Amino acid sequence: MGIITAVCVSPKKGMRKKDAGEGVLVTGHGLQGDAHAGPWHRQVSLLAVESIDKMRAAGLDVGPGDFAENLTTEGVDLVHLPIGTRLKIGDTAVGEVTQIGKECHKRCAIYYQAGDCVMPKEGIFIRVLLGGKVKAGDKIEVFNQLP
């Protein structure tokens, strides 16, 4: 089990997200008010603070939302969760892992600053199976892992 350390949104795609501290996960849609939400398989993005710390160790001044993730987590090994794994987020929300990493078609500002970016390799994406409120400090729990 881990915790949510940040809940981040942006009004447009292709930009860093801002930590709002809380939000609403909408069933079949994603994080309310975020540009990436919609009826597709990458409704919500997650990145571990442990991954962000790698970039800090490389000398970058980065934090939650800077890699365009919606939920920053701590204590869950996100990148090793198989597709289909279900996560309980907060008191009621449930998400299902749909993708590990992503292909970056164009290099982001982080890549040019550091020569690397963790989101394409260590970020994950979920679709929202059951909505609910989520805030920094909430628990995130792996509760169903496919064999």
- How far is the CA of 30 from the CAs of 53, 95, 118, in angstroms? 26, 9, 22
Report the DSSP pairing between strands 22-26 and 93-100: unpaired
Give the structural domain span for 96: 2-144
CATH number of the CATH domain containing 124: 2.40.33.20
DSSP string, 7-59: EEE-SSTTS--EE-SEEEEETTTEETT-TT-SSSS-SEEEEEHHHHHHHHHTT
How many CB atoms are closer than 10 A to CB 69? 29
pTM assigned to the model: 0.90
The string of pLDDT tens digits covering residues 93-131 is 999 999 998 666 565 555 555 455 666 678 999 999 999
Q: Count up the domains in the chain and report the number.
A: 1
The string of pLDDT tens digits covering residues 70-87 is 999 999 999 999 999 999
**Encoding tokens for residue 127?**
């679709």
Supply φ then ψ for residue 112, to 5 degrees.
-70, -30
